[in-house]
Amino acid sequence: MPGSAVILWWGADIRLLAGDGKMLRLAVAEADDPVPAILRLAGETCAPAQAVRVIYHPDTLDAHEVSCPNTSRSRLRKILLREFRALGAPDAVWSVEPIRRGTKGCATVLYLDQRSPLPRLLAGLAGGGWPVEGVWPLQSLVEATPPCAMARDGFLSLVVLGRRGLVSCVGPSGDRSLRFLEGPECVDGAIAELGSALARFEEGATPPGLMIVEDGGSSGALEHAPGARALTAMAAATFLSHARTLPAGGFSDFVGHRPFLARPPPLRPTLAAAGLALVLAALGLAWNARQDRARTRRQFATAREQQANLRQWVEDRAAAQARIDQLTLALSRIPGRAQPLCDFLAALDRATPTAIALQEVTIQGGALTVRGRIIDDAGPSGALSRLWRVLAVPDAPWHLDDLPAGQVGADFTLRGSIAAAARKAAAP
Amino acid sequence: MRLPPAHWLLPAGILAAAGSVYYSRSASAPAVAPEEAALQRQAEALAGATPDTILQLENRLAAARARLAPAPGFDAWLQGACRNWIVATRSTGSAGDLELRQYGLVYDHPRMSSWPDITASLQALCAEPGLTIDRLDIAAAPDGADAFQQVEVRLTVLLRP
């Protein structure tokens, strides 16, 4: 299966590494727009739906070596925005190299293209059905290509393609420097820069690195330049093929980050749907709660009404009870007939035999006392017992106490009560 | 349909959900007033206090009051019912809207032969509604004399005004 196609856009020099390893080169006139030419080249070379990677360094791209804190890319943008206002422009395209810690602290390289044709290129590629996996600066490709990718104590790189060159260096202490060259003096400038970069290393050191030279006329001079012997020579196609290892959406990817053509995060519609679902669920919950509250309010109102009715009923009944108590008291104060008293006197009159002479009858407050004398010579207790038995009948409305035991004398006293019957309340 | 931005919709959804939960939790049913149970107990205790009961009691009271003797003619009635008795004491008072009288009666020269008259008088007193005999003293004369030493009655009577 062919790999991604790699497009190198370096000024007017356009190269396309096809999936099968074939590399095409296209030179665009200074006044011409490279985008249609690149799209035409892609149309002739790329298979349908073939992924494309872009190494991007047009003439409009500026590179700035800047000091910065070791932070995230979004934070870095906010920090750099203070110095590079163009970063805030809506059509600005920018990228930064991964931050390196050197002798003067952390630093990076800011690439800023204020009037970038990249959006049109990406739109054209997308329109042609070629998904773009990423757009990286040239230095990122250098640093991702062996042996630079594995060098621990710094490296040198020399890239000369046509009349354009890049000399970059990461010193032993981590300081990064890069220099873009263009024009007929490109080779001489590259040799000079290579010497300057080599001076960052200890004398006699042979730092590893890359050398990509695609100009037969100047390659001999470059190969004999100081420090160039230790560099790994690599064909341009091989060099470009390493672009397939660059991480999409990585730190230096132009299109992997906002503000420029940020890839639509796949979570966004999911989050939106989740938010919408939450809103709907919340509305449903609120509606149910409202219904519950209304139902509860109705039930409570009914309960309160019933309770008020019950309270009124109890108050009415309490008033009725008070009236009943009042009437009962009034009725109790009206005594009935004192008939039991007369009945007792009549019963006493009838039951007293001739052998007994009554001497005193006293009834006071319901207590009755009968005193008498037995005048029968036959015996002291027989007549009295008979009298007591006649009077002390269970159904009588009076009560007589038992006879005192051992009655021996003639005088006797009967005691009892009649109060309950005599003072009974009037009854119908 | 174009969805609103997620960075607005999701917080809005979370806020709405939180608000809904708060609203639903705050919508708990208000408790029924705790006096409900006490009211129920009072209602059960007062179940018998009906207008019918009042009506019956009012009728009974009215009947009892109607049976009372009228105050203006009671002295005359007493003189007639207790012809041989002397009113030793008499006092009046009131019990609500009724007149309350207390009498102390002494039988005049009671002999043993007066006993039927004494019992008849007492029978008449006892038959009178609203009349209470507070004290009755009957004592025979000592040594078998044909007379009573004491025949006294103290009574209280309620009278209609």
Fold held by A339-422: Gyrase A; domain 2 (3.30.1360)
- CB contact under 8 Å between A338 and B32, yes or no, is no
What digits encode the pLDDT tens for the residues A220-278?
A: 777 777 777 788 888 899 999 999 999 888 888 888 654 444 444 556 677 888 888 88
Q: Is B39 on the interface with A (CB under 8 A)?
A: yes
- CB contact under 8 Å between A279 and B135, yes or no, is no
What is the distance between the alpha carbons of residues A219 and A198, in angstroms, rounded to a whole number?
Answer: 19
Average pLDDT over residues B105-125: 90
- CB contact under 8 Å between B24 and A285, yes or no, is yes
Average pLDDT over residues A363-374: 88
Query: What separation in angstroms does the CA of B56 have from each of A52, A158, A201, A319, B50?
Result: 110, 126, 127, 16, 10
Reply yes or no on whether the pLDDT at A420 is more than 70.
no
Residues A239, A244, A247, A252, CA torsion sign = positive
- Residues 6 or more apart from A127 whose CB is under 8 A from it? none
What is the distance between the alpha carbons of residues A311 and A304, in angstroms, rounded to a whole number?
Answer: 10
What digits encode the pLDDT tens for the residues A101-153?
A: 988 889 999 999 988 889 899 999 988 888 899 999 999 999 999 888 888 88
Q: What is the 3-state secondary structure (H, E, C) of B54-88?
A: HHHHHHHHHHHHHHCEEHHHHHHHHHHHCCCEEEE
Predicted pLDDT of residue A152: 84
What is the distance between the alpha carbons of residues A316 and A298, in angstroms, rounded to a whole number?
Answer: 27
User: Can you give the pTM of this predicted structure?
Assistant: 0.47
A236 φψ region: left (φ > 0), alpha (ψ -120 to 50), beta (else): alpha
Reply yes or no on whether the pLDDT at A322 is more than 90.
yes
Who has greater pLDDT, B53 or B19?
B53
Crossing angle, helix A267-332 and helix B6-25, to 10 degrees? 10
What is the distance between the alpha carbons of residues A414 and A347, in angstroms, rounded to a whole number?
Answer: 14
What is the distance between the alpha carbons of residues A113 and A58, in angstroms, rounded to a whole number?
Answer: 9
Reply yes or no on whether the pLDDT at A384 is more than 80.
yes
Whether residue B92 lies inside any domain: the answer is yes
Chain A residues in contact with B47 (beta carbon < 8 A):
317
SS3 assignment, position B28: coil
| CATH code for position B78 | 3.30.70.60
Report the percent of chain A where pLDDT is more than 70. 90
C-alpha A306 chain-centroid distance:
44
Minimum CA–CA partner of A428 in chain B: B60
Whether residue B22 lies inside any domain: the answer is no
What is the distance between the alpha carbons of residues A373 and A240, in angstroms, rounded to a whole number?
Answer: 156
Who has greater pLDDT, A232 or A338?
A232
To the question of domain A146-233 being in CATH 1.20.1690, the answer is no
Predicted pLDDT of residue A260: 43
Q: Is B60 on the interface with A (CB under 8 A)?
A: yes
Query: Virtual CA dihedral for A74, A75, A76, A80, nearest 10 degrees?
Result: 100
ipTM: 0.75
Contact (CB, 8 A) for A217 and A245: no
Q: How many helices (H) and strands (E) does chain B have?
A: 5, 5
Please provide the average confidence, as pLDDT, over all residues in chain A: 84
What digits encode the pLDDT tens for the residues A166-183?
A: 999 998 888 999 999 888
The encoded tokens of residue A387 equal: 């009298």
Q: How confident is the model at residue A427 (pLDDT cuts 50, 70, 90)?
A: very low
What digits encode the pLDDT tens for the residues A46-101?
A: 888 889 999 999 988 999 999 998 888 888 888 898 899 888 887 889 999 999 99
What is the distance between the alpha carbons of residues A340 and A388, in angstroms, rounded to a whole number?
Answer: 17
What is the distance between the alpha carbons of residues A187 and B92, in angstroms, rounded to a whole number?
Answer: 150
Reply yes or no on whether the pLDDT at B141 is more than 70.
yes
Q: How confident is the model at residue A422 (pLDDT cuts 50, 70, 90)?
A: very low
**Best mutation target, B1, B2, B8, B10, to test chain A (most A CBs within 10 A):** B10
Report the percent of chain B where pLDDT is more than 70. 89
- Residues 6 or more apart from B76 whose CB is under 8 A from it? none
Fold held by A1-95+107-136+236-263: Nucleotidyltransferase; domain 5 (3.30.420)
Q: What distance, in Å, lies between the first and last C-alpha atoms of chain A?
A: 122
**Best mutation target, B115, B136, B149, to test chain A (most A CBs within 10 A):** B136
Counted domains in chain B: 1
Report the percent of chain A where pLDDT is more than 90. 24
What is the distance between the alpha carbons of residues B106 and A175, in angstroms, rounded to a whole number?
Answer: 145
Predicted pLDDT of residue A428: 31
SS3 assignment, position A36: helix
Whether residue B43 lies inside any domain: the answer is no
Q: Which of A268, A300, A324 has its CB closest to that of B30?
A: A300
Please give the residue range of the domain that contains residue B147.
Answer: 69-160
Who has greater pLDDT, B23 or A409?
B23
The encoded tokens of residue A68 equal: 């910065």
Least confident of A111-115, A125-129, A198-202, A402-406: A402-406
Predicted pLDDT of residue B90: 95
Q: Is B20 on the interface with A (CB under 8 A)?
A: yes
Reply yes or no on whether the pLDDT at A323 is more than 90.
yes
Give residue A43's identity as a one-letter amino acid code.
G
What is the distance between the alpha carbons of residues B66 and A428, in angstroms, rounded to a whole number?
Answer: 12
Cis before A90? omega within 30: no
Contact (CB, 8 A) for B133 and B103: no
* Of A145, A167, A179, A165, the residue nearest A218 (C-alpha): A165
